[in-house]
Every structure is written in structure tokens, then in C-alpha cells.
Amino acid sequence: MSRKLMFIFSGVLVFLLGTLVVFVFKAQGSSELDMVSGCVPYNVSLSRGESDHQVVIDWKTEEECVGYVMYGDDRGNLDLVSIDTRDLSSKVHTVVLEKLLSTKNYYFVINSGDMDYGDSGVPLSFSLSSL
């Protein structure tokens, strides 16, 4: 392999490894906006909805992406799904979870661009009393 070809190959390899490190760092919950790309959710917020049994989950993405939330009251069985009915593909996402009980803890992941996002692979959690 020539020296020039080896130099180009090394440069491409360094670039790919750097991109992978940035993606993994961001997916694990960094708040550095300049490191966000594609459909990785950022500025995720939870708030009470209009009724006592609703929670609103908002997030943003750098690109227009299809996003939804999978949730449930069992961390290992997120069998409920809620989608953003305003826009199928967007950079600003809002999902409303309804008919929640105030006595339960709930778990959720955001699916954005066909990837699930939580806290280092673990679903995020909340209860109505914590909001």
C-alpha cells in the first residue's frame, strides 16, 4: 500500500471513530447542542397536560424525523405507544400520554428515526406526582 493511500485511509478512520464517539456521547444524554445531529432527541421535557391524567413529552431533533413514545408501567414491557398527531415528520415533537394513574410510576423511550433513546439504553421514568 502506498504512503499516500495509507495516509488517506488513516484520516478516514480517525474521522469515523470521532463521529462514533460524538454519537455515543450524545445518545447517553449530553446537553451539548452542537454535538446533536440527525434524529437524536434533545431538549426533552415532561410536563402535566391539560387534564390531571395527562403528561406532555416534548423534544427537538436537528432533522425532520418521525418520532413517537413507547411507554408503560413496567420497565420491561413498554406496550403503549403515543405519536405526535400534529406532524408525522418534524423537528419539534410533542406527544401527549393520557389516562395515567397518579399512583403509578411510568417508563418510556423516545423512538426517533427508528432508534430508541432513553438513559444509556434504559427507559426514562416519571410519575404524575413528580411533575
pLDDT tens column, 68-108: 999 999 999 999 999 987 777 899 999 999 999 999 999 99
The more confidently predicted of residues 86 and 29 is 86
Answer yes or no: is 10 within a domain.
Answer: no
78 and 121 Cβ atoms separated by less than 8 Å: no
Whether 83 is in a domain gets the answer: yes
* Structural domains of the chain, count: 1
Q: Is residue 11 part of a domain?
A: no
Q: How far apart are CA 120 and CA 131, in angstroms?
A: 22
Domain range for 83: 36-130
Residues 22 and 62: their CA atoms lie apart, in Å, by: 15
User: Residue 67 sits in a domain of what CATH number?
Assistant: 2.60.40.10
For residue 103, being part of any structural domain is answered with: yes
How many degrees, rounded to 5, is the angle at CA 119 between CA 114 and CA 122? 80
Which distant-in-sequence residues (6+ apart) come within 8 Å of 80 by Cβ? 70, 71, 72, 97
42 and 30 in contact (C-beta within 8 Å)? Answer: no
In a domain, 14, yes or no: no
